[in-house]
Amino acid sequence: MSEAKKLHVALFPWLAFGHMIPFFELAKLIAQRGHKISFISTPRNIQRLPKIPPNLAPLINLVSLPLPTVEHLPQNAEATTDIPSHKTPYLKIAFDGLQGPLHQFFQTSTPDWIIYDFAPHWLPPILANLGISGVFFSMYGAWTLSFLGSSTSAMINREDSRTRPEDFTVPPEWIPFPSKIAFGLHEAKRAFGDHIEVNNSGFSDVFRLGSVIGGCNVIAIRNCNELESNFSRLVGELHCKPVVPIGLLPPADFDGSSDQDDMWLTIKEWLDKQNKGSVVYIAFGSESELSQPELHELALGLELSGLPFFWAHRKRENSVKLPDGFEERVKGRGTVWTSWVPQLKIMGHESVGGFLTHCGYASIIEALYFELL
């Protein structure tokens, strides 16, 4: 029997590290099978990726496409972690500006397959014209994909009967089995403005998502059947596409650039002084932002709890403020860290026994991995 054909597979994630890192992990897994990889992103993001294992380096080509300059987007901002959340639509405008360079890359490099994210609504027609097969790789669970739309057409053409945030506080009618998947009203109001309605990028996230699903050959989801087999089947039925559970892709030891070694030593020194399983780790992802009342209530709740805690609270350009005297009152028992943290190292430390999170899917997977849920 002849050896199976080796493929050229391109990967094109959205410009958020919660997306780029799982895409990168998938790239390594595919390369381990002997296939050629083109991992496509922007120059600064490429520089911030983990090192490629030496045995896979000959098979993985990191392709840098310069991000176009866009009004309201800060210089050198190439990922969601570089900007406050209200500027994310401008990052999407810049991302959409990669359409021409990406098209040119495909014409010269001719990959067999491309695995892409939710954002490039313009990509499926390009692939169809060039005869390249496409996989939509979802960083969102199948329950989220099921919740967001009853069909590809409904997502693209805004045919959803849900027109108010209140409509998203109950499970949608097209879920045929018992489910509690729904937003709280405060969550629905935020999601409605951020993802469901048209934003300053000119498109809604639901439109982008529907477009890439409609134009793909296969839907791949970062999940497993043990977690959500019913929802995975439902996604395939709703969109008439084959669905492949990729697995959870547990995190590799990636926490950003190497300049964090001293930072980790400082954090580890504090964690080493705490009792095993006693520390609550608090982090709300790279994009979520707390309002002033939410931050105030969380801080006072931590103070009243009496528990030791480590709070990764990154300051942003419009950062809300902690209650007066809070850090002094919890000094020694609690630490508020205002810059980037090596999250995986923290979660893996034996003193950490709980994780308070915004419940982003990547954070849930990491919490499962470290048995903190």
Shared-domain flag, residues 353 and 224: no
Neighbours of 131 (CB within 10 A): 8
Q: Look at residue 344 and tell me if it is in a domain.
A: yes
Shared-domain flag, residues 194 and 225: yes
CA pair distance 152, 160, nearest whole angstrom: 11
Shared-domain flag, residues 105 and 241: yes
Give CA separation, 205 vs 106, 119, 197, in Å. Answer: 25, 7, 8
CA pair distance 118, 193, nearest whole angstrom: 18
Which member of 96, 117, 205, 255 is catalytic?
117
Shared-domain flag, residues 118 and 144: yes
pLDDT in tens, 218-233: 999 999 999 899 999 9
Shared-domain flag, residues 226 and 301: no
CA pair distance 53, 81, nearest whole angstrom: 25
Of 245, 279, 308, which marks where a domain is finished?
A: 245
Q: Look at residue 150 and tell me if it is in a domain.
A: yes
Shared-domain flag, residues 226 and 298: no
Shared-domain flag, residues 14 and 123: yes
Q: Look at residue 253 and tell me if it is in a domain.
A: no
Is 160 a catalytic site residue?
A: no
Shared-domain flag, residues 292 and 213: no
CB 134 within 8 A of CB 127: yes
CATH of the domain at 270: 3.40.50.2000
Q: Which domain holds residue 353?
A: 262-370
Which two three-digit tokens encode residue 253? 């030891």
Of 245, 270, 301, which marks where a domain is finished?
A: 245
The residue written with tokens 């977690």 in the block is 227
Sheet holding 334-337, edge to edge: 334-337, 309-312, 279-283, 352-357
Shared-domain flag, residues 240 and 284: no
Please, which residues have CB within 8 angstroms of residue 309's CB and are 6 or more apart in sequence? 279, 280, 281, 282, 302, 330, 333, 334, 335
Q: Look at residue 200 and tell me if it is in a domain.
A: yes
Shared-domain flag, residues 50 and 171: yes
Q: Look at residue 177 and tell me if it is in a domain.
A: yes
Q: Look at residue 251 and tell me if it is in a domain.
A: no
Per-residue confidence of the chain (373 residues) as pLDDT tens digits? 446 789 999 999 999 998 999 999 999 999 999 999 999 999 999 999 999 999 999 999 999 999 999 999 999 999 998 998 889 999 999 999 999 999 999 999 999 999 999 999 999 999 999 999 999 999 999 999 999 999 999 999 999 999 999 999 999 999 999 999 999 998 899 889 889 999 999 999 999 999 999 999 999 999 999 989 999 999 999 999 999 999 998 776 655 544 457 888 999 999 999 999 999 999 987 667 788 899 999 999 999 999 999 999 877 665 678 999 999 999 999 999 988 888 889 999 999 999 999 888 888 888 888 888 7
Count structural domains, the chain. Answer: 2
**By three-state DSSP, how is residue 221 classified?**
strand
Q: Look at residue 257 and tell me if it is in a domain.
A: no
Shared-domain flag, residues 16 and 96: yes
Q: Look at residue 78 and tell me if it is in a domain.
A: yes
Is 96 a catalytic site residue?
A: no
Of 190, 219, 245, which marks where a domain is finished?
A: 245
CB 18 within 8 A of CB 360: yes
Angle at 359 between CA 323 and CA 288, to 5 degrees: 50
CB 284 within 8 A of CB 253: no
